[in-house]
Structure formats: C-alpha cells, structure tokens
Amino acid sequence: MSTELSPELSPQYDPAATEPATYARWMEHGVFTAHADRSARIGGDREPFTIVIPPPNVTAVLHMGHGLNNTVQDVLIRWRRMAGDEALWVPGTDHAGIATQNVVERLIAQEGKTRFDLGREAFVERTASFVEATGGAILKQLEAIGASCDWTRTAYTLSPELSRAVRTAFVRLFEDGLIYRGHRVIHWCPRCLTSLSDEEAEFEETAGALYHIAYPVAGEPGRAVVVATTRPETMLGDVAVAVHPDDERYRDLVGKHVVLPIVGLEIPVIADTYTDPAFGTGVVKITPAHDANDFEVGARHALPMPVVIDAHGIMAEGPDGAGRVPRALAGLDRFAARERIVAMLRESGALVKVEPHQHAVRHCYRCDTVVEPRLSDQWFVKMAPLAKPALEAVRERRVRIVPERWEAVYVNWMENIRDWNISRQLWWGHRVPVWYCDACGEAFASVDDIGQCPRCHGPVRQDEDVLDTWFSSWLWPLSTLGWPDERSRDLAAFYPTDVLVTAPEILFFWVARMIMAGLYFAKREPFHTVYLHGTVRDMQHRKMSKSLGNGIDPLDVVALYGADALRWTVIAGLGLGTDVMLDPENLEQSFAPGRNFITKLWNIGRYLLSNIGGEPVTALEAVDPATLTRADEWILARLDAAIRECDLALGPPRPDGGAWGEEELRRGMRLNDYAETARRFVWNELADWYVETTKSRMTGDGADRDVARAVLVHVFDAALRLLHPIVPFVTETLWQRIPLPGRAGDEFLAQARWPAPRAARAEGAARAAAFERVIEAVAAIRRARSEYGIPPGQRVAAEIRPGTDDTAAVYREEAAVIERLTRTDVRVVALAPAGPVAHELLGADGSEVYVLLAGAVDVEKECARQRRELVELEKQLGGLEQRLANEKFVSRAKPEVVEGERRKLREWTARREQLRQKVRALCGD
RNA sequence: GGUCGCGUAGCUCAGCUGGUUAGAGCGCUGGUCUCACAUACCAGAGGUCCGGGGUUCGAGUCCCUGCGCGACCACCA
C-alpha cells in the first residue's frame, strides 16, 4: 500500500487482501472526516456537501438494498470530496421502535417470557443492552463496501443528544398547538399491541368475502334490510344501519329500527351521505368503535360506540359494549368469531348470501398481522400547516425529486395529508414527554423531566406511550448536526444538507416528513435533491427478501469478487428510475462484468508499471505540445470528452441560487451513464487503442518514449480519478503505485482533485481527428483478415490509397502503428493495385484499404459482397436524395440538420462512385 | 376506483427537446493462449422499436386507441 513496494503488481488483483487495508489507511488519516470550519458557510473556503444516511435499523443486517443505497451515496460523496467540497456523510442508526422491540420480544419468548413478565423498566434495559451488544453491526458492514462515512459523527436516534431533539420538537409543536390528543378509531396491531400510523398500516390485496346479512325491521314482521360486510364479527358493535338520504328504497325506514341479529338489540336506521346507494344493497351497518368511517358517522349522529373486540383481537365486551358479546363468542379470536358468527347467521336464516370479494386489507408493516381498527386515545400531529410549506418547497423547486415522476406522488400525498398518529403503545422508544397531574388534571409537555406539578406541586406521572420511530427520524438532518443547539457549528456549516438518497417506499414515512420538519424547525428545507433509486430484484423481478430466500448477501459478493465489483455492478445497472436486476442463483453472471472491469484496470496498471521504468515521469504540462503524437492527442481528446460527459451525467451538484432552474432541474444523478462513460473510455479507448500504440514507443528510447510515458501516466491518473468514486479500492491501490510527477508521499486518491478537461487547442484537435483514420484503417484490415480467415501468424500486405493529401501523410507516419495492430505490412499507394484484392472501403475522407492476399482472393465472394454493399448504399442514398429534394424538409428542418444531410449526400455519392468502380472491376460488368 | 409509469436484440436496459445506416453489457457464432489482461483479444450474427390509427416533409421519439405488465394512492362497507 505504499509507493516503496516493488514496482511490479501481482499478476492478479486480490481484493480480499487489499480492501480492508486500504480502508484502514483512509481511516487512519482521517480522510472521511469533515471539518466544519472549512465550510464556506462559516468562513471557510469550501462549499459544504452533505449527505445524511438513511439510518438503518440498529439491529439490521446488511442486504443488497443497503448495498445499493449506500453505494450511491458513497459515489456522490466521494465525487464531491474530490471536486473540492467539504464533504460530509453522516452515518447512524435508527432505534426502530416496533422492529427492535419485536426482536427482543422474540428473544425473551425463547425463555418463555413476555415483556409483561419483565416489566417496562427491565424490558427497556434488556433491549438497550441487546442493542449495545449486537446493534450497529451494519455500520461495520458498510465499511466493507467502502462507505466513506464520517464515523466521528455517527448518530443514533435514541442517543441523549437526539432524544433531546425529539423532545424539543415535541414540545415546540405542542406549544404551537400542532400536537393534540385525539379520541378516534386508529389502526391497531393486535400482535404488537400498538397503534400504527396510516403509513404503517399497509394495504394488501386479499380475496375475502362479502357477507349479506338480513336485519329484520322492528315491528314489521317479514320485512328486513340486507347489509353487506366483509367483517361480520364487527356486527356485535353495530349501533345503527345507514342509508343514503336520497335513496327512495329506504326513505320510509329512516327513523325506524332494525333488530341486530345474534345480539337482539334494536338499532336505528339513519340517513347519511356516507352511504353509497350503488354499493351492495345500499344499506351499511355502522360500527363506530371498529371502523374509522363508521366512527365519523357515529360522531355525526351522536351514537354510542360500544367496543366488542379487545386489544388482542379477541371478542370481549369493552367500554359501552355490555351485553353485546354472547357467551358463545366471548374469548374467541376475531377470525374464529367471524366463522362462528357466519355459521350462526346461516342457521338462523339471516345470512342472505356470501359473495367472493377482492379488497385491500391493511396489515402491520412490521409483523404483517391484519390491522384492527380500534377506538382509542392517541397523540396526533396536525399535518396541514406543516405540509403547506413543504409542498411549496417542491413547487418552487427549492427541493427537486429525482426521478421527476415521484414529484406528483409527493404532491398528491401532501395535498391530501391526514393527521399523524405519533403515539405507540410500546416500551422501546422516546417516551412521550408529557406529564399529567392527577390533582389538577393538567398535562404538561416538557423537554426536561418534570418531578412535580408546576401548578399545584402535586405528584405527576409521565405518559405511558412512546413516540413513533419516525418522529425521531424526521428530525435526522437536523438532529445529527446538532439541532436544537443553535450554536452548533455543524448545524451552521452543513445544514441544509444536499442530497437525500433513498428508496421510494419511504417517501412518505420519512422524506416528506423531513422536509416538513426542516422547514418548521429550521426554516430551511433539509436538502435540495431527493434521489429515489430503484429496488434490487431477482431475475423474475421479485423484490429480494428474506422470506422468498432470493436475497444476495453483499458480504458474500465482497468475499468472492470484492467490494468494487459489487459497487460497479449496482451503479452500472442503476438507470434513473429503474430497478436493479441481479441473479441470486448466478453470482458469477451478475458480478463478472464488474470484476472483469476491475481486472482490466489492474492490467493496465501492470502494463504501465512494467514499462514505465524508473526515470522520473514528465508532467504533461511540461511536455512540448509539438512532440505529442496523433495517438497522444487522440487519447487526450477522448479523456477530455469523457470527463465532460461524466460531469454532465453527475452534476450539477447543487442548484445555482436557492432553487433549481428549468435547465438544470433534470440534469445529473445519472450514475449509470457516468459509469458507462468512464468504462468506455478506459476499456475501449485507453486499453484497446492507446495502450497498444504505446507498446512500440516504450521499447524505444529518447524523447518520444518520455512523451508516451508522460501521456500514459497522465491519462491513467485521470482515469483512476474519474473512476474512484465507483471503485475506490482498486483505483486507490493503483494510484498509490503509479509514478506521478511531483507527488508528495502521503496523498490519497480519495482526496485527490477530480479531473478537469484541458484547454482546447485547434492543432491538437486536428491531429486527434487524424488518428481516427488510423483506427478506421486498422478496423478495415482486421475485418478483411477475419473474413478471409487469414491466420494471425500469416503475414499479408495491405495497401492504402489515401483520400486526400493530408491523410497520405497520416498513413505514412502511422504505418508502423497500423502494422503492429494488424500484423499486416502496410504501404501507402497512389493507385489501386492491379490484381484481385480483398478490399475494404473507408468512410470519412474517401481513403481506401486494399488487403493483398497473394492470390487467395475469392473474386466471386468479394464481388458479391461489394454488390451487397452497393445496393445498401444506393438504397440509403435514395432516401437521402428524396429528403433533400423535399422543399418542406429543406425549409423547415433545422439548418444544421439540412447541412449535415448535404454533407452526407456528398460523401455517399463519392463512395457510390468508388463502389461502382470496384464492382465493375471485380465482377467484370 | 384515482394517479402515474413501462412494453426497443435471447436477457437487462440506453436512446435528451421528433432529423446520420437504432446502441451498450451479458449471452450466442467463428477465430486467437499476440511479450498488461483467456476475468482477455479480434471479427461476426441477431431488432416489422407490443398491435392499430393519427399529426408531420420526417415518428422508436408526439397524440388517440387496443393488448400486456408494474407502481403509488384510495373511507365502496
């Protein structure tokens, strides 16, 4: 890992041996540590560029989704670090209330205990020590994939600092009247025994049944109304049936009563516009305690709200529910009760019919249990006032969402936002910072613990509930940088952050709420770009998941192919807005392209080091431009083009001014384009062409060798810089070895400057373009050789008839290069050879290449081929002529398009003439 | 039900505001162990751009429609 090691590289790159050591060196030298005082926002001379990690659950284990997500962030942060920004990537973990509590509950279940056996305090302690012992493992795993996080700033949502942020946020919202206690029907998980937010109760399409049940009309024997329900067990809690006020069929029933089957209670028929006359029978049962909509109806009509299902999903008489759960049903699980009730209804003849019914049922996002709507008291955040500025931030382009289409989803959600239930009946999390005084009945929200009632000094008790995990996550960009401490240097230096990289699934859970929190608490949106990347899927396009067993362990990949191969594969496969497909059955196929490319880089490095020699290398700036060969000019031009394309694919890094302009709004963040551009340059231009041309120059001595060495080192250095963000390990390792002119000893590629294109020189551009003629000639000769099946060992001759005087010089001077690359003797001639030849026509300037085969030419074959080519050309030419003859095209198309077509017409016409002559000569007609 | 997206080579996908002979990787075929690299090199085959209409001088690209997928949202019990 140091330049003092032997100049030779091992024949094979060994990532397993190299990567951990390289990472350790970066850490040792604090390469990833950001310095607040260097931020231009507080007087420094660097633009800050900040990313906060989407904190993985503290108990999580790295999976491909993390691999993808964090590689993307690392590419961006390494890019900006090299580009001269003060780059900060804040890592950390989320305490993950429900998820972690579930893990520990499962753990103690193995001991035959429940959390209630332990009691709250002991359970929280147990969980905390569990987290301490095993948590955060995922952060270590991130090191293995090369994540350049600033580990000196690692955060945790349940740390004392972040807890203070949570309490401060709560109290501020409470005091501003945006947090309130609500009594209503919420989503309840009977397994986790907690309420859930709307977002945590996920829809799942389910094939259920629609049960039609007859409710006899009281006092009108023989008459009944039929209601339809998917959850018959809730009927025990019915307090009314509702019809639409305009529904003629039932108008006379409104105000009368029906008899609730099984229970035997008389309940009123009410009129409410909530009822859809077109659905089912147009009569709907009203169960205020067990359905959110029915709750609204019940509240409108001041109906009682009897509870008939308890917290565990068991049929039981709760508040107001006395006498409603018959002994035969009491104690039954809700689904067992459903079956029993249906059977009872069938027996009594009240069950009219059962229809299959496809509908969306909500499930707990943590444990997948069917959610039960439940009447309870919860803490809510009023969202409308928070959503308004967050909506404006996106509309006014201070925040952009990439890909753009997610913007509409965001807007739609924001416009229809509902209040956020933030209390959870869990033990693991931030306890609601509210204290109650039983004596004076007051409730106090406070950042600091309250020991006694501030009013009457009586005893107080803290709210039992904890806050939704996302109530701490939504503060993440603020809290990790030191908020609410207004004097925090990090906050001043790095907030607002820049890019937020995550999956679309948590756009609402997290991203939208962070924007709201940032604007509310700090008056600034927390980032200017939300980059939503795709999902990692298998070849059947299924999400990778533990339960399907179709996952790929990123650490397996690292062990087999190295972190760089993993990173390369996910970045190269990540089109904007597309998913990444990987085959868990065939890791070789999935990751070989990455590994092969890294091997390619390694081998270029080997070539360079074994040919460069020990003498000092001249800096390119010190090389007299007049001594650059065409190949030199060409590769330097290609490098500049590659740099420009990469810059275009990646940036701009931030909006110019406070908001994104129309022009730049959709630019950048195309990481796969960046990867592909860099790969094409390194492989198809640098390795395939330029390196080949240097081989003969390296064996020589004198000035030209030094020029070649200077250019080769310069170009390879730039290539390594260009690629470092994607494949940091191999590039750093190689970079440490290459003999860069004027380098100090302890520098890292990770901190080296991002390459910039050189100032353009007309002379150089012309010479670079001339090298394209060489490439064409080589390709033509190779094609002819291949077509005639000439063994590589067999020496044949080729003659080139230049199209212009200028190119004549090019071929003469580059003949050696062409000979080397084709193993063919080359002569530049003024006339076409007399005898039969294997002939390949050139493009651009009309040059022709003849491959002389010592009498082995198959004239018939050659004739046929040239004929085919002529026919094809004439067809194309016909279309072109037609287009140019079309007045409308000439007058309406863009001038440069027309001009291009005219040029093409001239070239093709000349080629047609050449081809015709060839065909005449070959075919004898 | 609402909104949005997708359908281009065997597979995974690029193709920007409509304008050269539609590209890449993998796979496939043929040839090479050529002194950095067989995890490689060289050459090649393979596409009615989902179907049907339309706008236009010109459509893979824009519009309509059909078919087939997918995502997000949603109080049809």
Task: Provide the pLDDT for residue A924.
Answer: 75
Give the 3-state DSSP-derived string for A297-313, with helices as H, strands as E and coil as C: HHHHCCCCCCCCECCCC
| Residue A489 pLDDT grade (very low, low, confident, very high; cuts 50, 70, 90) | very high
Q: Which of residues 287-326 of A touch strand B (CB under 7 A)?
A: 291-293
Higher pLDDT, A195 or A550: A195
Please check the confidence at residue A175 and state whether its pLDDT lies above 70: yes
Please check the confidence at residue A577 and state whether its pLDDT lies above 50: yes
Find out whether A237 and A372 touch, Cβ atoms under 8 Å.
Answer: no
What is the rounded CA–CA span in Å between residue A365 and residue A203?
A: 9
Please give the span between the terminal C-alpha atoms of chain A, in angstroms, as a whole number: 69
Angle between helices A728-737 and A15-28 (to 10 degrees): 80
Higher pLDDT, A360 or A146: A146
What pLDDT, in 10s, does the model give residues A623-656? 999 999 999 999 999 999 999 989 988 989 999 8
Q: Which of residues 643-682 of A touch strand B (CB under 7 A)?
A: 673, 676
Strand B closer than 7 A to residue A503 Cβ: no
Question: What mean pLDDT comes out for the span A188-205?
Answer: 87
CA angle A856, A819, A851 (to 5 degrees): 25
Token pair belonging to A65: 């989704």
Q: Which of residues 123-162 of A touch strand B (CB under 7 A)?
A: none
Question: What mean pLDDT comes out for the span A658-681?
Answer: 87
What's the whole-number average pLDDT of chain A? 89
Task: Provide the pLDDT for residue A428.
Answer: 93
What pLDDT, in 10s, does the model give residues A701-752? 789 999 999 999 999 999 999 999 999 999 999 999 999 998 877 799 999 9
Residues composing chain A: 925
Token pair belonging to A450: 């309250």
Please check the confidence at residue A390 and state whether its pLDDT lies above 80: yes
Closest residue by Cα to residue A847 from A789, A761, A791, A770: A770
| Residue A584 pLDDT grade (very low, low, confident, very high; cuts 50, 70, 90) | confident
**Strand B contact nucleotides, protein CB < 7 Å:** 2-5, 11-15, 19-21, 24-27, 30-32, 34, 36-37, 39-44, 56-58, 70-77
CA A158 and chain centroid, separation: 26
The CA distances from residue A390 to A266, A480, A515, A601, in Å, are: 49, 21, 6, 46
CA quadruple A193, A198, A200, A204: dihedral, nearest 10: 100
Token pair belonging to A513: 């709420």
What is the rounded CA–CA span in Å between residue A362 and residue A201?
A: 5
Please check the confidence at residue A691 and state whether its pLDDT lies above 90: yes
Token pair belonging to A26: 């970066």
Question: What mean pLDDT comes out for the span A11-39?
Answer: 95
Strand B closer than 7 A to residue A874 Cβ: no
Strand B closer than 7 A to residue A894 Cβ: yes
For A210: left if phi > 0, alpha if psi spans -120 to 50, otherwise beta; the answer is beta
Please check the confidence at residue A755 and state whether its pLDDT lies above 90: yes
Q: Which of A27-36, A203-212, A801-810, A852-861 tops mean pLDDT?
A: A27-36
Closest residue by Cα to residue A284 from A341, A210, A340, A336: A210
Task: Provide the pLDDT for residue A3.
Answer: 39
Q: Which of A106-120, A153-167, A700-714 tops mean pLDDT?
A: A153-167
Higher pLDDT, A884 or A621: A621
Please check the confidence at residue A823 and state whether its pLDDT lies above 50: yes
Please check the confidence at residue A121 and state whether its pLDDT lies above 80: yes
Please check the confidence at residue A75 and state whether its pLDDT lies above 60: yes
Find out whether A188 and A376 touch, Cβ atoms under 8 Å.
Answer: yes
Question: How many Å does it take to go from CA A792 to C1' B33?
Answer: 13
Find out whether A329 and A320 touch, Cβ atoms under 8 Å.
Answer: no
Percent residues over pLDDT 70 in chain A: 98
Question: How many Å does it take to go from CA A251 to C1' B74?
Answer: 29
Question: What mean pLDDT comes out for the span A485-502?
Answer: 95
Question: What mean pLDDT comes out for the span A314-340?
Answer: 88
Question: How many Å does it take to go from CA A641 to C1' B60?
Answer: 27
Task: Provide the pLDDT for residue A5.
Answer: 44
Strand order in the sheet with A420-421: A194-196, A179-189, A372-381, A420-421
Task: Provide the pLDDT for residue A800.
Answer: 92
> What is the rounded radius of gyration, in angstroms, for the C-alpha atoms of chain A?
37
Question: What mean pLDDT comes out for the span A427-454?
Answer: 92
Q: CB under 8 Å to A721, separation ≥6 — which residues?
A: A82, A731, A735, A749, A752, A753, A754, A755
Tell me what ipTM this predicted complex has: 0.93
What is the rounded CA–CA span in Å between residue A572 and residue A586?
A: 18
Task: Provide the pLDDT for residue A4.
Answer: 39
Task: Provide the pLDDT for residue A856.
Answer: 66
Which pTM value belongs to this model? 0.93
Task: Provide the pLDDT for residue A7.
Answer: 57
Question: What mean pLDDT comes out for the span A29-54?
Answer: 96
Task: Provide the pLDDT for residue A2.
Answer: 39
What pLDDT, in 10s, does the model give residues A828-887? 999 888 777 887 877 667 788 888 876 667 777 778 777 877 887 887 788 788 888 888
